[in-house]
Amino acid sequence: MTAVALDDRIGKAWKKPPLIANPALRWTLFIGALAYVVLAVASIDVNWSRVAEGLSRGWAFVTAFFTPDFVSRGGDIWAGILESVIITITSTVVGIGLSVPIGLGAARNIAPLPVYLVCRAIVSLSRALNEIIVAILLVAIFGFGPLAGFLTLSFATIGFMSKLLAEDIEEMSKAQAEAIRATGSSWLQWINYGVQPQVMPRLIGLSMYRLDINFRESAVLGLVGAGGIGATLNTAFDRYEYDTAAAILLIIIVTVMALEYLSGIIRAKVQ
Amino acid sequence: MPVSTDIKGAKVWQLRNRNQTLIRWGSYLAAVAIFMWCWQRISEATTWFFVWDAPRIAADIGGRAWPPRWSYMDKLWGPLWDTFNMATLGTVMALFLAVPVAFLAARNTTPSTLFIRPVALFIIVATRSINSLIWALLLVAIVGPGVFAGLMAIALRSIGFCAKLLYEAIEEIDEKQVEAITATGASRWQVMTYAIVPQILPAFAGISVFRWDINIRESTVLGLVGAGGIGLQLQSSLNTLAWPQVTLILLVILFAVVVGEWVSAKVRGAII
Residue that wins the pLDDT comparison between B107 and A19: B107
CB B157 within 8 A of CB B127: yes
Q: Which pLDDT tens digit goes with each residue over B130-187?
A: 888 888 888 888 888 888 888 889 999 999 889 999 988 888 888 898 899 999 998 8
Q: What is the pLDDT of residue A4?
A: 66
Q: What is the pLDDT of residue B183?
A: 93
Confirm or reject contact between B206 and chain A (CB < 8 A).
no
Domain count, chain A: 1
On the question of pLDDT at A2 being above 80, the answer is no
End-to-end CA distance of chain B: 46
CA atoms within 13 A on the CB side of B42: 26
Q: Which pLDDT tens digit goes with each residue over B36-53?
A: 998 888 888 877 777 788
Task: Kindly provide the ipTM of the predicted complex, given to two decimals.
Answer: 0.78
Confirm or reject contact between B257 and chain A (CB < 8 A).
yes
Facing B144 at nearest CB: one of A54, A128, A233:
A54
d(CA B2, CA B67): 66
Which amino acid would we find at residue B141?
A
CB contact (8 A) between residue B224 and residue A46: no
Q: How far is CA A51 from CA A47, A54, B97, B144, in A?
A: 6, 5, 21, 7
Q: Which pLDDT tens digit goes with each residue over A111-146?
A: 888 999 999 899 888 888 888 888 988 888 888 888
**Other beta carbons within 10 Å of B115:** 9
- Residue A166 counted as domain residue: yes
Size of interface A-B (CB pairs under 8 A): 143
On the question of pLDDT at A21 being above 80, the answer is no
Q: What 3-state class would DSSP assign to A109? A: coil
Q: Which of B180, B176, B197 is nearest to B103 (CA)?
A: B197
Pairing status of strand B3-5 against strand B11-13? antiparallel
What is the nearest CA distance from B123 to chain A, expressed in angstroms? 11
Q: What is the pLDDT of residue B175?
A: 87
Confirm or reject contact between B130 and chain A (CB < 8 A).
yes
Confirm or reject contact between B93 and chain A (CB < 8 A).
no
Q: What is the pLDDT of residue B95?
A: 92
Mean pLDDT of A244-259: 86
Mean pLDDT score of chain A, rounded to an integer?
85
CB contact (8 A) between residue A227 and residue B146: no
Confirm or reject contact between B265 and chain A (CB < 8 A).
no
* Positive or negative: CA dihedral A144, A145, A149, A152: negative
Backbone angles phi, psi at B12, to 5 degrees: -115, 125
What letter would DSSP give residue B12? E
Q: Determine which helix (DSSP H) or strand (DSSP E) holds A136, and give its type and residue range.
A: helix A131-142
CB contact (8 A) between residue B47 and residue A145: yes
Residue numbers in A near B35 (CB within 8 A):
89-90, 93
What is the nearest CA distance from A1 to chain B, expressed in angstroms? 30
Categorize the per-residue pLDDT at B272 as very low, low, confident or very high, splitting at 50, 70 and 90.
low
Write the CATH number for A234.
Answer: 1.10.3720.10
List the single range of A98-102, A210-214, B43-47 with lowest mean pLDDT.
B43-47
Length of chain A: 271
Confirm or reject contact between B66 and chain A (CB < 8 A).
no
Mean pLDDT score of chain B, rounded to an integer?
86
d(CA B270, CA A132): 32
Q: Which residue of B has its CA nearest to A149?
A: B42
Mean pLDDT of B218-232: 85
CB B219 within 8 A of CB B154: yes
Facing B143 at nearest CB: one of A51, A82, A216:
A51
What is the nearest CA distance from A211 to chain B, expressed in angstroms? 13
Facing B221 at nearest CB: one of A36, A57, A130:
A130
Residue numbers in A near B45 (CB within 8 A):
83, 145-147, 227
CB A123 within 8 A of CB A106: yes
CB contact (8 A) between residue A44 and residue B148: yes
Contacts 24+ apart (CB under 8 A), A36-44: A36/B88, A37/B89, A37/B92, A40/B85, A40/B88, A40/B89, A41/B89, A43/B81, A43/B82, A43/B85, A43/B147, A44/B82, A44/B85, A44/B89, A44/B146, A44/B147, A44/B148, A44/B151
CB contact (8 A) between residue A240 and residue B125: no
CB B98 within 8 A of CB B162: yes
CB A159 within 8 A of CB A123: yes
On the question of pLDDT at B28 being above 70, the answer is yes
Q: Which pLDDT tens digit goes with each residue over A28-87?
A: 988 998 988 888 888 877 777 877 887 887 888 788 878 787 777 778 888 888 889 999
Q: How far is CA B96 from CA A19, A45, B50, B155, B208, in A?
A: 18, 22, 48, 10, 11
End-to-end CA distance of chain A: 68
Domain range holding A112? 73-270
- Residue A52 counted as domain residue: no
Q: Which of B27, B37, B42, B135 to mutate to test the interface with A (most CBs of A within 10 A)?
A: B42
Q: Which of A203-217 are b and which e, b meaning 16 or more Cβ less than 10 Å from the residue's Cβ?
A: bbbbbbbbbbbbbbb
3-state helix, strand, coil in chain A (%, to 5): 80, 0, 20
Q: Which of B133, B225, B257 to mutate to test the interface with A (most CBs of A within 10 A)?
A: B133
Residue numbers in A near B238 (CB within 8 A):
136
Categorize the per-residue pLDDT at B206 as very low, low, confident or very high, splitting at 50, 70 and 90.
confident
Percent of chain B exceeding pLDDT 70 equals 99
Percent of chain A exceeding pLDDT 70 equals 97
- Residue A7 counted as domain residue: no
Residue numbers in B near A130 (CB within 8 A):
217-218, 220-221, 253, 257
Q: Which residue of B has its CA nearest to A52?
A: B143
On the question of pLDDT at A16 being above 90, the answer is no
Categorize the per-residue pLDDT at B98 as very low, low, confident or very high, splitting at 50, 70 and 90.
very high
Q: Which residue of A has its CA nearest to B123?
A: A253
Q: Is the pTM of this model over 0.95?
A: no
What letter would DSSP give residue B211? H
Percent of chain B exceeding pLDDT 90 equals 15
d(CA B215, CA B86): 8
- Residue A2 counted as domain residue: no
Facing B142 at nearest CB: one of A57, A145, A146:
A57
Categorize the per-residue pLDDT at A206 as very low, low, confident or very high, splitting at 50, 70 and 90.
confident
What is the nearest CA distance from B184 to chain A, expressed in angstroms? 15
Q: What is the pLDDT of residue B25?
A: 93
Torsion of CA B213, B217, B223, B227, to 10 degrees: -30
- Residue A191 counted as domain residue: yes
Longest dimension (CA), chain A: 92
